[in-house]
């Protein structure tokens, strides 16, 4: 009977997918009605704002679940549901049936929601704890309305095992031209006690900068195999493991609207909302590295007066201004985790001929917001964070390493190793 139920659900999902052919197995928001999509490892203090800094990846034996939070700006959505998709290492959908990676029926109603309190902009806040799963690997959480007929959001997350040990080191790039602008990650994998038939080929390795999928590298092969020690060494000489350093993120603090926080140039109050004007920014590409403490692009939702940012933080129209010369061939975005690192109409800037600056007005929930300016330019278009921000080897960054393996009898890629590396950490 249970097999029949799962089979019927798989058929139902296939039909829903056919009705929603544009479902993307990545971090994505499909409607402007959904904002502030957060997915993070749960902690005991549900309102502690630092919970939002950690990426959505947990060990398979974790006693605390991943937690999804988001806001519905219509305040009228009903019947929201979540389901989970298992993915391969390359984020394509795996061939596993739901019953192979879930412990229960893969259709979860979102019943934990609360109306905003004492805010000018009304919203409904949803909270959902991701259920425990059987396998390590890559997953995508899909939230939809009307029993899957309208997709609202998708968010990636990962569950890992510790089957191999990773030793890693971050340092200045060994490239002659890159030694002052780039950072390099050297690492090795110890697979003692774990069966690899072909150590040179079996593992899939992914490196990410600041937990960003848009700044990830893969397809690494070991440069040296020590079979008697069960060690794989990854020390490259052609900059395969080198990343542009970037710059420390700009940020502003809007946790209170009773006065101007850091980075806020002006507040304007009306009956509908409180709008912010951020202190105008300039290019940092040629004026050297500036050491400031940041969150490496992450976003903290918080409201200082109540400490209940989830439902008492307000939404503020926020005006960003970048004072640089107009470049007709470039498209510039305000980028950061607040927008899931997506480059779209919500965060694209327009050149204002009156102010002679690029500007964007974005609705953002109160908190501490890290951001940078990202430029898309060229043919084919190339995304460049250093065009405005510059690249400096001394910039403080976080890196992580993900090790995937598909055992001979398995039909999916398992995440068998995970490690984070801090570079130049000062906080």
List, for residues 370-426, the tens digit of each pLDDT value.
999 999 998 899 999 999 999 999 999 999 999 999 999 889 999 999 999 998 877
d(CA 135, CA 60): 7
Average pLDDT rounded to a whole number, residues 53-76: 94
Q: Partners of 332 in the beta sheet?
A: 375
pLDDT of amino acid 174? 87
Q: What is the pTM of this model?
A: 0.91
124 pLDDT more than 80: yes
Task: Decide if 28-160 and 165-245+395-423 have a common fold.
Answer: yes
Q: Partners of 186 in the beta sheet?
A: 169
387 contacts 375 by C-beta, under 8 angstroms: yes
Burial class (CB in 10 A: 0-12, 13-18, 19+), 217: middle
DSSP string, 80-125: -EEEEEEE-TTSSBPS--HHHHBSS-S-EE---EEE--S-SS--EE
List, for residues 224-274, the tens digit of each pLDDT value.
999 999 999 998 888 999 999 999 999 999 999 999 999 999 999 999 999
84 contacts 68 by C-beta, under 8 angstroms: no
pLDDT of amino acid 6? 42
pLDDT of amino acid 243? 96
Q: Indicate the domain borders of the chain.
A: 28-160, 165-245+395-423, 250-389
Tokens of 264: 């806020």
Q: Partners of 374 in the beta sheet?
A: 333
d(CA 346, CA 320): 12
Instruction: Quickly count: other Cβ atoms within 10 Å of residue 3's Cβ.
Output: 9
53 pLDDT more than 80: yes
Burial class (CB in 10 A: 0-12, 13-18, 19+), 144: buried
Residues comprising the chain, all counted: 427
Please provide the CATH number assigned to the domain covering 28-160. 2.60.40
**Looking up tokens 């801090």, which residue turns up?**
422
Q: Look at phi and psi of residue 11 and say left if phi exceeds 0, alpha if psi is from -120 to 50, else beta.
A: alpha
List, for residues 286-319, the tens digit of each pLDDT value.
877 888 889 999 999 999 999 899 999 999 999 9
Tokens of 245: 């350093």
List, for residues 317-368, the tens digit of each pLDDT value.
999 999 999 999 999 999 999 999 999 999 999 999 999 999 999 999 999 9
d(CA 189, CA 168): 9
Of 223, 214, 224, 225, the C-alpha closest to 241 is: 223
- For the chain, what percent of residues have pLDDT higher than 70? 94
How would residue 78 be classed by pLDDT, with cut points 50, 70 and 90?
confident
Instruction: Quickly count: other Cβ atoms within 10 Å of residue 384's Cβ.
Output: 17
155 contacts 68 by C-beta, under 8 angstroms: yes
pLDDT of amino acid 95? 94
pLDDT of amino acid 229? 94
366 contacts 393 by C-beta, under 8 angstroms: no
d(CA 370, CA 296): 7
42 contacts 65 by C-beta, under 8 angstroms: yes
List, for residues 150-178, the tens digit of each pLDDT value.
999 999 999 999 999 999 999 999 888 89
**The CATH number fitting domain 165-245+395-423, selected from 1.10.1060, 3.30.1490, 1.20.1070, 2.60.40:** 2.60.40
- Mean pLDDT of all residues belonging to the chain: 91
Instruction: Quickly count: other Cβ atoms within 10 Å of residue 251's Cβ.
Output: 23
Cα Rg of the chain, angstroms: 23
Tokens of 27: 């971090």
d(CA 185, CA 236): 9
d(CA 270, CA 322): 25
How would residue 15 be classed by pLDDT, with cut points 50, 70 and 90?
very low
Of 361, 280, 358, the C-alpha closest to 318 is: 361
Q: Which of 128-142, 174-188, 281-295 has the highest mean pLDDT?
A: 128-142
pLDDT of amino acid 223? 92
List, for residues 182-200, the tens digit of each pLDDT value.
999 999 999 999 999 999 9
pLDDT of amino acid 21? 56
pLDDT of amino acid 248? 96
Of 169, 258, 243, 241, the C-alpha closest to 212 is: 243
pLDDT of amino acid 148? 60
């Amino acid at each position: 009977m249970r097999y029949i139920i799962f089979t019927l659900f798989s058929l139902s999902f296939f039909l829903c997918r056919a009705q929603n052919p544009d479902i993307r197995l990545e971090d994505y928001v499909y409607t402007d009605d959904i904002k502030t999509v957060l997915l993070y490892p749960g902690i005991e203090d549900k309102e502690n704002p630092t919970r939002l800094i950690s990426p959505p990846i947990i060990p398979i034996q974790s006693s605390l679940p991943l937690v999804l939070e988001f806001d519905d700006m219509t305040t009228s959505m009903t019947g929201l549901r979540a389901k989970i998709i298992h993915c391969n290492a390359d984020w394509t959908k795996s061939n596993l049936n739901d019953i192979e990676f879930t412990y229960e029926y893969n259709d979860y109603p979102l019943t934990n929601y609360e109306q905003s309190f004492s805010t000018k902009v009304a919203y409904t806040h949803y909270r959902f704890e991701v259920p425990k799963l059987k396998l390590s690997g890559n997953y995508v959480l899909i939230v939809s309305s009307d029993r899957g007929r309208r997709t609202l959001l998708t968010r990636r997350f990962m569950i890992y095992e510790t089957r191999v040990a990773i030793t890693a080191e971050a340092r200045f790039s060994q490239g002659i031209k890159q030694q002052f602008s780039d950072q390099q990650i050297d690492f090795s994998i110890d697979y003692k006690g774990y069966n690899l038939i072909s150590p040179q080929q079996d593992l899939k390795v992914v490196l990410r900068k600041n937990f960003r999928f848009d700044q990830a590298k893969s397809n690494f092969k070991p440069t040296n195999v020590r079979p008697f020690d069960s060690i794989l060494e990854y020390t490259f000489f052609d900059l395969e493991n080198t990343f542009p350093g970037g710059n420390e993120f700009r940020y502003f603090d809007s946790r209170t609207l009773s006065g101007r926080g850091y980075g806020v140039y002006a507040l304007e109050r009306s009956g509908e909302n409180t709008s912010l004007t951020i202190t105008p920014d300039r290019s940092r590409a040629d004026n050297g590295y500036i050491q400031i403490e940041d969150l490496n692009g992450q976003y903290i939702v918080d409201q200082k007066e109540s400490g209940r940012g989830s439902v008492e933080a307000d939404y503020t129209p926020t005006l960003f201004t970048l004072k640089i010369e107009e470049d007709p061939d470039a498209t510039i975005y305000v980028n950061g985790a607040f927008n899931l690192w997506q480059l779209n109409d919500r965060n694209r800037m327009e050149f204002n001929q009156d102010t002679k600056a690029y500007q964007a007005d974005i609705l953002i929930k109160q908190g501490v917001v890290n951001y940078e300016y990202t430029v898309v330019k060229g043919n084919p278009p190339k995304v460049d964070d250093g065009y405005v921000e510059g690249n400096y080897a001394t910039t403080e960054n976080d890196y992580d390493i993900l090790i995937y393996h598909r055992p001979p009898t398995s039909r999916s890629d398992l995440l068998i190793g995970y490690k984070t590396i801090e570079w130049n950490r000062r906080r």
